[in-house]
Amino acid sequence: MTDRFPREGERRSRTEKKLADEILATWHTDALPADAVVTLVTMIPYRGEKAVLAWRDGRLLLPEGPVREGESAEAAVRRIAEEQAGILEPSLRHLGHFRCRATVHTKSQPPGTITYQALYGVEVGSVADFPADQSYERRLVLQRDLNVVLRSGYVERRLEFIDALDAWLLERLKAARKG
Q: Where are the domains of the chain?
A: 9-172
Cross-strand pairs, 96? 119
Query: pLDDT of the chain along its 179 residues, tens only?
Result: 445 545 555 545 557 898 887 899 999 999 999 999 999 999 999 999 999 999 999 999 999 999 999 999 999 999 999 999 999 999 999 999 999 999 998 888 899 999 999 999 999 999 999 999 999 999 999 999 999 999 999 999 999 999 999 999 999 999 889 87
Q: How far apart, in Å, are the Cα atoms of 108 and each of 72, 100, 154?
A: 20, 13, 22
Angstrom distance (rounded) from CA 112 to CA 99: 12
The domain made up of 9-172 is a member of CATH 3.90.79.10: yes
